[in-house]
Chains A and B, each alone.
Chain A
Amino acid sequence: MWQLEPAWQADVLARAWRAAQPFPHLVVDDFASARDLEDLLAILDEEPVERYEGDIFAFDATAPEPTTSDLRAVREQFARVLAPALTQVTGKPVARADMRAYAYRPGHYLLPHSDHQEGLARVLAYAYYLPSPEPPVGGELELYCCEHDGSAITSVAGACLIEPRPNRLVVFDVSDVSLHQVREVLDGLRLSLAGWFYPAEPAAEQPR
């Protein structure tokens, strides 16, 4: 699962990453093979989802840590294959990733936020859109252009809309100004895997 070829062309993607507006991001279509996608959907069928709700979000999702060994294996292989490739493309060293599956139904949303939080070490965010039995209306990933004074955002304007097309991988930079949202789903079902890439765990300190 998660073979990069032929969709992954590192030099093309690196240029796209650097040129992307309003902040660095990548959109890779036809990311997984049909067979891998079928296997992935079978694994996800076994993973329980719950409703999550906060002031900025409402959606159904799997638990932060997968309950099945199969989904944990999917996550580990995803990180093993993608982390070196993304390090090369983005110039940002990453080594591991987390992964949850999300189901946005009508009325579900994720309001504008940056993903950047002190102490969490998120370097890159990703979303991989899955085929849906009822393709969603809405649910686009919207990226914002921000002006800021220090870490405080002083103006915001929508700059880029990315449709949640099946088998599309989106990766974007995490920073104070990587403001984005998932627009409310108005109909249908938006299915995705999403999470963040992190640097390597610091090596455990050796006794002297």
Chain B
Amino acid sequence: MSSIEALFGSRTAEILAAAVTPVLAAEVRARCERTGYTRYGLLDRGSYEVIADPDEPELLAALANLAGERIDRTLELTGARVLRLQPGDYLLAHHDQIHVDLPIEVVLDLSPAIVPGAEVHYRRRGQVFFRVPSTPCSLAIVERGPTVSCNHTYVSKLHAGASVVRLIALFRG
């Protein structure tokens, strides 16, 4: 686990390793594949595939409990999506939605394997304050806010066949 609480008071930004099993991650990936991704192609903002509102109620409830225990709050799901990034894909910070309140965002890494350099960067006033490296089965828990934005870094074409799959859920409570 890494934490920046010491630097930013009560702000939450931490990573839990092995939050789900590789078997569960593979099952979710397979269900997503069957659901089908939609490609986003406005390249000045991002290039990726997405499933909005994935039908994963049990997993999302478990993530709400897990994140809620970490921050000692009861959390309710307010939105979720699955992103898949392949070599050449990215999601830029100015494409991210800014939240005026302080919701909790979790990023569950469902990727089949580590993809070097494929990270999620959380930025406060543009400066990266929290990096989520490619670590399959890990869960990042981050408090969002009016000054926090997020980008998914470019996936290098040097990693042919790489696939980054992330379940991103937003909770309030």
Contact = CB atoms under 8 A, between A and B. Distances in A.
A184 B41 contact: no
B26 to A, nearest CB: 28
A205 interface: no
B interface residue count range (under 10 / 10 to 19 / 20 to 34 / 35 or more) = 10 to 19
Contacts of A154: 42
A155 B93 contact: no
Contacts of A184: 88, 154, 156-158
A55 B41 contact: no
Contacts of B157: 138, 184, 186
A109, A138, A154: which has the most chain B beta carbons within 10 Å? Answer: A109
A179 B117 contact: no
Interface in B123-173: 151, 153-154, 156-158
Given A184-B156, A184-B157, A186-B158, A114 B44 contact: yes
Nearest to B95: A55
Contacts of B156: 107, 184
Contacts of B41: 156
A85 interface: no
A112 interface: yes
B56 to A, nearest CB: 28
Contact of B154 (A58, A113, A138, A153): A58
Contacts of A144: 43
Interface string A88-120: 000000000000000000110101111000000
Contacts of B158: 106-107, 184, 186
A12 interface: no
A156 B153 contact: no
B48 interface: no
The interface centre, meaning the residue of B42, B43, B151 with most chain A CB atoms within 10 A of its CB, is: B43
B42 A113 contact: no
A156 B46 CA distance: 11
Nearest to A146: B44
Contact of A113 (B44, B93, B153): B44
A55 B44 contact: no
Interface string A117-148: 00000000000000000000010000010100
A153 B88 CA distance: 20
Contacts of A146: 44
B93 A153 contact: no
Contacts of B88: 184
A107 B92 contact: no
A52 B117 CA distance: 15
Nearest to B92: A55
A146 B45 CA distance: 13
A186 B87 CA distance: 12
24 contacts: A55-B92, A55-B93, A55-B121, A55-B151, A56-B92, A107-B156, A107-B158, A111-B92, A112-B44, A113-B44, A114-B44, A138-B157, A144-B43, A146-B44, A153-B42, A154-B42, A155-B42, A156-B41, A179-B43, A179-B44, A184-B154, A184-B157, A184-B158, A186-B158
